[in-house]
């Protein structure tokens, strides 16, 4: 008689889970598992053990894409813009510096109290002489600091994102840009997308993939003297692009949000693509004020075109080698795809670290 009555609710109400919560829980848990797998792969690489290629199945990719990375990236971007109290700045930035190995001696402003928020710290500028630009006349320089994931000739309309894992050239760049917007001559007739991009007889199509880690310098620059004629923005997923995930998901760069800049240099076609990633929804191109990435209005499989060639501007946007071009709001990936004569040679090794201004290759 002294026992209290317990008021219970139907089991269905207590354990009612919405589909969104299930997706976040399962997708987030699986993403954590993948992070652990990436760590194991990094340890194997450090020991010189060759890592076998194991591609994700369709259901694994779908599960990973179920994580609301676009929403999380926008939330992270807003958090980064919150002004930190002066007393908190040094401890927060020092932890980041220690975690990712940031070299603040190269920063234009070394005083950590100067950076009002994380976003300003991520986008810090370098001292003027910190990155001398290679002065070889026929060279292509690295547009950013980072790690070389892959490089070489494009073959069979496929590009390697890492060794053994490829993606479609046409899926990555999208349909060919209208020839009238570009300044070079008409390409010789060819059946493949790759042949249509090569405009001069005897030339080949080359590619180079550079991964920017969170601790790297986050701005990117012009890799050579060229003219930007066209911008294509692909709204897409924001999956991680670190080397472990790039080895796991085929056509990862085709899934993710990216900004493709195309134009020409002295040898023909030239393109630079900035690929977004988790927490890197913000891709900024300095001369393109109309570009807005990671917008809430996301249409899967779509892309937006913008031409810099007009009646008032027949030349597009001229860029000089080493000139500031844009920035990420954290690390990500840059892909160069360009045309050059057959005697173009890369001066690289897969997996090596490179800094902005160092030569990728030359004639």
Among all residues, which ones are annotated catalytic? Answer: 145, 221, 332
Q: Which helix (H) or strand (E) holds 245?
A: helix 243-248
**DSSP structure string for 113-176:** GG--SHHHHHTPPBPTTSSPPP--TTEEE-SSSEEEEEEEE-BTTEEEEETTEEEEHHHHH-SP
Q: Radius of gyration (Cα) for the chain, nearest Å?
A: 23
Going by the DSSP 8-state scheme, the letter that residue 298 receives in this structure is -
Q: Please give the C-alpha separations between residue 360 and each of 62, 204, 210, 212, in angstroms, as whole numbers.
A: 35, 16, 10, 15
- Distance between CA atoms of residues 300 and 108, nearest Å: 40
- Distance between CA atoms of residues 146 and 143, nearest Å: 9
Three-state DSSP class for residue 361: strand
- Distance between CA atoms of residues 168 and 172, nearest Å: 6
Asked if 148 and 351 count as a contact pair (C-beta separation under 8 A), the reply is: yes
- Distance between CA atoms of residues 308 and 329, nearest Å: 24
- Distance between CA atoms of residues 9 and 2, nearest Å: 22
> Between vectors from CA 357 to CA 343 and to CA 332, what angle results, nearest 5°?
100
User: Which residue in 136, 141, 316 sits closest to 223, CA to CA?
Assistant: 141
């Amino acid at each position: 008689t002294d026992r209290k009555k317990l008021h219970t609710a139907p089991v269905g109400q207590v354990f009612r889970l919405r589909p969104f919560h299930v997706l976040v829980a399962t997708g987030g848990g699986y993403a954590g598992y993948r992070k652990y797998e990436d760590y194991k792969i990094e340890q194997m690489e450090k020991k010189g053990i060759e890592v076998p290629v194991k591609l994700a199945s369709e259901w694994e990719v779908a599960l990973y894409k179920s994580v609301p990375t676009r929403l999380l990236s926008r939330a992270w971007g807003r958090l980064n813009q919150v002004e930190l109290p002066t007393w908190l700045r040094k401890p927060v930035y020092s932890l980041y510096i220690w975690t990712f190995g940031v070299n603040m001696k190269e920063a234009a402003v070394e005083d950590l109290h100067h950076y009002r928020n994380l976003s300003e710290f991520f986008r810090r500028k370098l001292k003027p002489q910190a990155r001398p630009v290679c002065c070889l006349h026929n060279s292509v320089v690295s547009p950013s600091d980072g790690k070389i994931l892959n490089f070489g000739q494009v073959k069979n309309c496929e590009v390697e994102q890492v060794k053994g894992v490829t993606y479609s050239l046409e899926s990555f760049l999208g349909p060919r840009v209208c020839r009238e917007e570009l300044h070079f001559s008409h390409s010789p007739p060819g059946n493949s997308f790759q042949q249509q991009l090569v405009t001069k007889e005897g030339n080949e199509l080359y590619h180079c993939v550079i991964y920017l880690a969170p601790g790297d310098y986050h701005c990117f620059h012009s890799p050579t003297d060229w003219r930007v004629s066209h911008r294509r923005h692909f709204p897409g997923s924001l999956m991680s692009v670190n080397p472990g995930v790039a080895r796991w998901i085929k056509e990862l760069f085709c899934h993710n949000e990216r900004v493709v800049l195309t134009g020409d240099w002295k040898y023909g076609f030239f393109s630079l693509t900035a690929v977004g990633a988790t927490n890197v929804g913000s891709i900024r191109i300095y001369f393109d004020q109309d570009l807005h990435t990671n917008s809430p209005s996301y249409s899967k499989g779509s892309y937006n075109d913008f031409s810099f060639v007009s009646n008032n501007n027949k030349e597009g946007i001229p860029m000089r080698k080493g000139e500031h071009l844009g920035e990420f709001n954290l690390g990500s990936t840059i892909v160069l795809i360009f045309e050059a004569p057959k005697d173009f040679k890369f001066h690289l090794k897969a997996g090596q670290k490179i800094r902005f201004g160092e030569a990728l290759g030359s004639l």
